[in-house]
Amino acid sequence: MTGYNSNGEVATSNGNGHSNGHSNGHKTADYTAQENATYPYEVIQEIADFITKGSGMRPKIGIICGSGLGSLAEIIQDPKIFEYEKIPNFPVSTVEGHAGKLVIGTLEGATVMAMQGRFHFYEGYPLAKCSMPVRVMKLCGVEYLFATNAAGGINPRYAVGDIMLMHDHVNMLGFAGNSPLQGPNDPRFGPRFPALVNSYNKELINKAIEIGKTMGIESNVHVGVYSCLGGPNYETIAELKALRMMGVDAVGMSTVHEVITARHCDMKVFAFSLITNKCATEYSDKKDEEANHEEVMAVAKNRQKACCELVARLVREIHSNAAS
Ligand SMILES: O=P(O)(O)O[C@H]1O[C@H](CO)[C@@H](O)[C@H]1O
Ligand SMILES: Nc1nc2[nH]cnc2c(=O)[nH]1
């Protein structure tokens, strides 16, 4: 199996079918590729071919499942499942609630592919590697990216279990000089300087609002601004106050770099946050106001039905409009 080394040259993997740098069953991020974050087009094409040939399918919609939202992939019918470890040059998932499987099949008549497990900066992966699967999706034929995440609610009107449809983001990692598009630009993916003002597809947001109404959850559906911090620590009160002043409604540790990568290669983007915890913006000694991943996972599990229904119905809309 071919891979690439730190000089960007094509290299041969270790012969065990993957080159992810883990051997003892304990999943750790691949640090060897850090200095070589940008995957050459040919490597991404090779991964995409592995998936489309292995599944016999060309998906039109790609779904990234947020923490605890892996069930979004379980509603896919007649699935063909690829474990990340068996996909050449694919990273491994190291976070609880991210199973590490790519699921391709049919949802509401549309061919979709879903990532049960995404990659985060705090796992030790550079941003280009975190969002490399979005380019794989593109070369598999995906036109629409659905990115989902678990997030802390900063907007005081948000309750735990609410859904925030993302209409914009504040890229804090970008403020700090980090981007998934850093390094040489390959124009086969997109331009050197992509515009991001209309990143979140308005038509899909409006459709999702309508779907929320028909599901009877309109009071739990909001439209807001997400921000991604590097993590893995949750935020301090001062940071949360600062984010709120900047107009941020929900905060997490993902999604933004995926959206940037998707928009760079001209995919239509729909994204939502499941609010898994309320972020305190005042000082308090109360332990129950501290965010923790167990709570995040538990809330995601509780709300998976609503999230699955929203996704399935939006996929149905896209598919039936394309067919008509
Ligand atoms: O964004 P997703 O992957 O849904 O997960 C969110 O939940 C985890 C923290 O509990 C972090 O990884 C954060 O980004
Ligand atoms: N950064 C961050 N990520 C989260 N993911 C789920 N909840 C949170 C949160 O409160 N902060």
pLDDT in tens, 99-153: 999 999 999 999 999 999 999 999 999 999 999 999 999 999 999 999 999 999 9
Strand 163-171 and strand 101-107: the pairing is unpaired
Domains and CATH numbers, the chain: 2-323 (3.40.50.1580)
**Position in ligand 1 atom list of the atom nearest CA 95:** 12
Q: Which residues are annotated as a binding site for phosphate?
A: 67, 98, 118-120, 150, 254
Percent of the chain past pLDDT 90, that is, above it, reads 82
Which residue's CA is minimally distant from atom 6 of ligand 2?
A: 151
For this complex, say whether ipTM is above 0.95: yes
| pLDDT of amino acid 310 | 98
pLDDT tens digits for range 295-315 = 999 999 999 999 999 999 999
Q: Is 149 in the pocket of ligand 1 (CB under 6 A)?
A: yes
What span, in angstroms and rounded, lies between the C-alpha atoms of 303 and 314? 17
Residues with Cβ within 8 Å of 155's Cβ and at least 6 positions away in sequence, in order, are: 164, 222, 224, 244, 249, 250
Residue whose CB lies within 8 A of the most ligand 2 atoms, among 155, 248, 277, 290, for a mutation test: 277
pLDDT tens digits for range 80-95 = 999 999 999 999 999 8
Q: 227 has which bridge partners?
A: 170, 251
Q: Is 150 in the pocket of ligand 2 (CB under 6 A)?
A: yes
Q: Which two tokens stand for residue 292?
A: 């923790």
Mean per-residue pLDDT, 180-189: 97
> Strand (E) positions, 154-253?
163-171, 221-228, 250-252
pLDDT tens digits for range 16-31 = 333 443 333 445 555 4
What span, in angstroms and rounded, lies between the C-alpha atoms of 101 and 38? 22
Q: Please state, as a whole number, how many other Cβ atoms lie within 10 Å of the Cβ of residue 282.
A: 8
Centre of ligand 2 from the C-alpha of residue 278, in Å: 9
Phi, psi of 118 (to 5 degrees): -115, 175
Q: Which two tokens stand for residue 36?
A: 């070589």
Q: Please state, as a whole number, how many other Cβ atoms lie within 10 Å of the Cβ of residue 291.
A: 16
What span, in angstroms and rounded, lies between the C-alpha atoms of 243 and 230? 14
Centre of ligand 1 from the C-alpha of residue 322, in Å: 33
